[in-house]
Structure 1
Amino acid sequence: MSRVKRPQLTGRAAVLAVVVCAIAMSLAYPVREYIAQRRNIAQLEQEKARELAAIKALEDRRRQLQDPGYIKRQARERLFYCEPGQKCYVVMDDRPGGGAETAAPKKAAVPPWYQTLWESVEAADTGKGRRARTGEEAGASRSPGSAG
C-alpha cells in the first residue's frame, strides 16, 4: 500500500477559512459602532447627571428665594434695607483695629494717559530722558569730531 500525501490545506478547509474571515470582517464594523455607541451613552448619562444636579441646585435656590424671611434678611444684609420704625446703622470700615497700622499701604496714583504722553513729549523736546545720563554715557554718545 502506497500512501499518497494529502495537501495540508484541503479545498474544504480553504472555503471554511474564507467564510470565517468574511464573517469576522463583516462583524468588525458593527462591533466598533456598538462600542462607540456605548461610550456615547456613558458620556450622555454623565451629562444627564450633571444637568440633574444643576436643576436640583436651581430648585433649591428657587425655594430659598420664595422664603420671605430669606428675602428680608438679604435686603438687610446686601441692600441695607431698614424697616419703618427701626434704627439701622451701617459700619463702613469693619476691619478689626481700624487703625493706621492695619491699613494697607496706599498705592501711588497713576496719572492719566494724556499726562504721561505730554510729559514724554516735553522730555523729548528738552533732550532729557526719564533717567539722568552719567558722564561716561554722555562722552560715549558724542561723535569723535565734536569738541566738548
Structure 2
Amino acid sequence: MQVQAGPEATSSDGEAAEQLPADRGGIHLTKRLVAVLLVGAMLIFSIISNLTVYLNQRRQMAEARAQIIASNEHIADLLTEQERWSDPNYVRAQARARLGWVQAGEVGYQVIDEDGQPYGGGSGIDHTGASTSEDQSWWERIWSSVGEADAPTSAPPSVDDERVVTEGGATPTPGG
C-alpha cells in the first residue's frame, strides 16, 4: 500500500517513488516576493522624493534668512545715513564738499591740478560734445545745457573728504 505524505510519494519500503526537480540554484520569484519588492520600491521612491522636497525647502529657508539679514543690515545703514542727514552740521559739510558752498563772509578756493581739473575729484560737466556756437538760439543752448548737466564726468568725493580750504589753510568742517 502506498501512502502519500507531502509532495513526494513514497513507497512502503521508504524509497522515493517520485522526485521533484532539483533546485536550479537561482532565485525563485513568487507573487508574494514580487509584491513585497514593488511595495519596497514605492516606499523608497516616495521617501526619496519627499526628502528632496524637504532639502530644497531647507535651502530656500536658509537663502531667505540670509536675505533677511542682508536687508536688515541695509536698513540699519540707511537709518544711520538718515540720522546723519538730520544733523545740520553734516548737511553743511556735504554742501561744502559736494557743491563747493561757503558760509557768508568766507572766501572759497578750488585747487586745480596741472591738467586744470579740480584737485580731489568732484563733479564736473563734460564739455566735449557741447557746441558753443553763437548761431544757436537761446532755447537750444538751454536744452543742450540740460543734457550736459545730466551726464556728470565723475562721482562726488567720499564722505571722509570733508576738509575746507580757507584763507588760513585747510581746516576740518564743523561737525567733521
TM-score bracket for this pair, using the shorter chain length: 0.5 to 0.7
Q: Which amino acid aligns with 1:53?
A: E
1:52 to 50, 67, 72: 72
Structure 1 CA distance, aligned partners of 2:48 and 2:61? 20
Distance, in Å, in 1 between the alignment partners of 2:130 and 2:50 is 70
* Counterpart-to-counterpart distance in 2, 1:110 and 1:21: 74
Show the counterpart of 2:23: 5
1:37 corresponds, among 31, 50, 57, to 57
Q: 1:95 aligned to 2:112? A: yes
Q: Is the alpha carbon distance of 1:58 and 1:111 closer, same or farther for their aligned partners in structure 2, counting shifts above 3 Å?
A: closer
> Deviations along 1:128-147, whole A, 9 cap, x unmatched?
xxxxxxxxxxxxxxxxxxxx
- Alpha-carbon deviation of 1:81? 4.0
Task: Give me the whole-angstrom Cα distance separating, in 1, the residues matched to 2:84 and 2:37.
Answer: 70
Larger relative strand fraction? 2
Q: CA deviation at 1:61?
A: 0.4
Misfit runs of 4+, over 6 Å: none
The structure that is helix-richer by fraction is: 1
Shift of 1:71: 2.3
RMSD: 2.9
User: For residues 44-87 of structure 1, what are the alpha-carbon distances to aligned partners after superposition, in whole Å with 9 as ceiling and x for unaligned?
Assistant: 1221122111101101101111223222333343441415xxx2
Cα deviation, residue 21, structure 1: 0.4
Kept in 1, the 8 Å contact 2:84–2:90? The answer is: yes
Q: Which runs of 5+ in 1 are unaligned?
A: 97-101, 113-148
Q: Out of 10-19 and 45-54, give the one that drifted further.
A: 10-19
Partner in structure 2 of residue 141 of structure 1: none
Aligned residues between the structures: 99
Distance 2:95 2:130 in 1: 38
TM-score between the two structures when normalised by the length of structure 2: 0.45
SS across alignment from 2:107 = coil
For the structure 1 residues 111 and 38, does the alpha-carbon distance in structure 2 shift closer, same or farther, using more than 3 Å as the test?
closer
Render the CA deviation track for 1:7-35: whole Å, top value 9, x for unaligned.
62343433321111011122232222212
Taking only the aligned residue pairs, the percentage that are identical comes to 19
Which has the greater radius of gyration?
A: 2
Give the alignment's TM-score, normalised by structure 1. Answer: 0.52
Q: Which amino acid aligns with 2:112?
A: R
Structure 2: unaligned runs, 5 residues or longer: 1-15, 117-127, 132-176
Determine whether 1:25 maps to 2:37: no
Deviation (angstroms), 1:43: 1.7
